[in-house]
Structure 1
Amino acid sequence: MLYRRLGRSGLQLSALSFGAWVTFGQQVDRSAARDMLALAHDRGVNFFDNAETYNNGVAEQVMGDVLADLRFPRDSYCVSSKVFFGAVKNPLPTQRGLSRKHVIEACHQALQRLRLEHLDLYFCHRPDPDTPIEETVAAMDTLIRQGKVLYWGTSEWSAPQIEEAHHIAKQGHFYAPVMEQPQYNLLHRERVEREYAPLYRHFGMGTTIWSPLASGLLSGKYNDGVPDDSRLAQPGYEWLREAVIGKGDERIAKVRRLQPIADELGVSLAQLAIAWCLVNPNVSTVMLGASRSEQLAQNLDAVDVLPRLQGEVLVAIEKAIS
């Protein structure tokens, strides 16, 4: 496994990490989750991502139970949670958002579900227009000083919002955000490559990117429709299906043009897409999702594809998606 620093921090994360999202507690039961976490850890993965809202907290419960069962040394892995959407259906105003109350109480609840004493990474899952950024920064600072969180960051915040958080932290002598968790893949690049560019230079921000396969689109499995056992076919995720493949045939056409490049390299399309994300030096880790151990094992092999993505290969990839 390859390891990269989380921005300018001293924390080194595996270049490929493993996240729960929709699958844990829904597509993935405890037995399958145990097998995949064991496989990932055995392959050198040291970062497992989660959030309060994933299956309304069930994903964290499943991960917590499995980690307790596997008994990995606690200093051999990192776990994250994210706060904003809440962990219950139809949350009350105090059960969601980035107010001091919810940020701190959600952290305590996540620790209980994950059966941990601290979170290694804690993300503000989205910006909160109803809460001043200084209130959120101060709440995160409190959690870090209490030892309940080691590093905090944002997810899908705009560059100006992140810059404001840094300025507030500097003025108040608070701990500043260390990382951002944005979507990044061959079909979704603008924010990571352009909007956030000043953040890497000025603040040393790291990124833990999600959806390297564009919710499976870049694996090629949706080229001929949506399989019944796929994430996009799950009840309640019609919005995701519309976002991923409901934009006409242009995105599918780009995926089809990438297939010959993967074939020429002798790798899967998914491995090509994942490895491409790692070409960007500002990507600290690429978070993988999986519902089967075989799928996870194949995608973890993408780290071996990275050295082959240079020169003419990268030019061909750019041409295919242009």
Structure 2
Amino acid sequence: ITFGGQITEQVAEEMMTLAYDNGINLFDTAEVYSLKASLDRLQLQYVDVVFANRPDTNTPIEETVRAMTHVINQGMAMYWGTSRWTSVEIMEAYSVARQFNQIPPICEQAEYHMFQREKVEVQLPELFHKIGIGAMTWSPLACGIITGKYSNGIPPQARASLKGYEWIKDKIQGEEGHRQQLKLKDLEAVAERLGCTLPQLAIAWCLRNEGVNSVLLGASRPEQLEENIGAIQVLPKLSVSVIAEVDSILRNKPSSKKQM
């Protein structure tokens, strides 16, 4: 979304170089994001993992499994995964693949951040132990909410101000969004004590989950990407006690004193 229309070619090139230089070798893209612009920029001949984004309720899962198997057998991709599928649907795809000698999915692409935990922490671990499904997670900063940039309203260039993303704005301005902003104040105190920024803490928090194989980042400026990459240095600081403190902040409702 960002690379397709929100930044210039020069900035995109600079950030791609910065990513590669720091060991990043996984890029998430799709034609639907920006009229194929993001794909053209990457000059892809094939992809490592192709995803079935959202299950098609009008198409039997067997057809999807066979189509993905064909894509892989034709050399257009090495693996396939699901995105926003339920555990039941993923298990059915796996079972169908085994029954008809097709290729099963290897991972689920799921939203995962401090305010969205259920699927990755409760549902997917069972599939991991049963069939080896991994997790490729996205939106570690909750569409920018965890950066703290929405604490004083909606900035003009933020994603929540874009056409088609009004749902982010509604979420921020709703009751739950207000509670999240209050929790961010306590999380900022934890980050300050660890000597890192709030985004770095949030990304490291996602990475520390051993069931998470990859965390997909989004950035619109090289400085922002460089800061996010710095989350790797925060990982060793996430002790059991720190994780427990963060969990306590996330699970508890803000007190009336904090709301004042």
Same fold, TM exceeding 0.5?
yes
Residue number in structure 2 paired with 1:47: 26
> What displacement does 1:244 show?
4.5
Counterpart position of 1:214: 142
CA shift digits 1:128-170 (9 cap, x unpaired): 1011000000000011111111010000100000000000000
Query: Are 2:258 and 1:312 equivalent residues in the alignment?
Result: no
1:294 aligns with 2:244: no
Q: Deviations over 1:227-282 (max 9, x none)?
A: 11211122332123223443441111111221100011110000000000011101
Q: Distance in 1 between matches of 2:118 and 2:15?
A: 32
Q: Name which of 13, 28, 37 aligns with 2:16.
A: 37
Counterpart check, 1:179 vs 2:98: no
* Alignment partners' CA distance in 2, 1:181 and 1:31: 29
8 Å CA contact 2:87, 2:127 repeated in 1: yes
Q: Does 1:120 align with 2:48?
A: yes
CA distance in 2, matches of 1:245, 1:130: 35
Structure 2 alignment gaps of length 5 or more: 252-260
- 8 A contact 1:184–1:192 mirrored in 2: yes
The reply to whether residue 282 of structure 1 matches residue 211 of structure 2 is: yes
Conserved in 2, the CA contact under 8 Å of 1:257 and 1:321? no
In the alignment, structure 1 segments of 5+ residues that lack a partner are 1-21, 65-114
| TM norm structure 1 | 0.75
Answer with 250-259 or 262-271: which moved more: 250-259
Structure 2 partner of 1:261: 190
Superposition deviation, residue 52 in structure 1: 2.3
Q: Partners in 2 of 1:37 and 1:248 — Cα distance?
A: 32
- Three-state SS of the structure 2 residue aligned to 1:260 is helix
TM superposition shift of 1:45: 0.4
Secondary structure at the residue paired with 2:36? helix
Could you tell me how far 1:289 is from its partner in structure 2?
Answer: 0.2
What is the match of residue 28 of structure 1?
7
Q: Deviations over 1:4-37 (max 9, x none)?
A: xxxxxxxxxxxxxxxxxx2112212211110000
| Equivalent in the alignment of 2:125 | 197
- CA distance in 1 between counterparts of 2:120 and 2:177 reads 24
Give the 3 Å change call, closer, same or farther, for CA 297–169 of structure 1 in structure 2. Answer: same
Comparing 230-239 with 306-315, which one deviates more in the overlay?
230-239
Would you tell me which structure has more helix in proportion to its own residues?
A: 2
Query: Residue 256 of structure 2 aligns with which residue?
Result: none
2:163 aligns with one of 226, 235, 242:
235
| 8 Å Cα contact 2:137-2:215 kept in structure 1 | yes
8 Å Cα contact 2:4-2:37 kept in structure 1: yes
Question: 1:215 touches 1:244 (CA, 8 Å); kept in 2?
Answer: no
Partners of 1:41 and 1:255 in 2: CA distance: 31
Does the CA contact (< 8 Å) of 2:139 and 2:217 recur in 1?
yes
Q: What residue is the counterpart of 1:160 in the other structure? A: 88
Counterpart CA distance in 1 for 2:177 and 2:4 is: 32
Residue 129, structure 1, aligned to residue 91, structure 2: no
CA offset at residue 303 of structure 1?
0.7
Aligned-CA RMSD value? 1.2
Match of 1:13 in 2: none
Identity %: 42
Q: Look up the match of 1:95.
A: none
Q: 2:181 aligns with which of 231, 234, 252?
A: 252
Q: Which amino acid aligns with 1:41?
A: Y
Change in Cα spacing, 1:40 to 1:263, as seen in structure 2 (3 Å) is same
Map residues 54-133 of structure 1 onto 2, 5 A cutoff: 54-61=33-40, 63-64=41-42, 115-133=43-61
1:173-219 CA-to-partner distances (Å, cap 9, x unmatched) read 11110011000001000011111121110111111100000011111
Q: Aligned partners of 1:245 and 1:298: how far apart in 2? A: 27
Aligned residues: 250
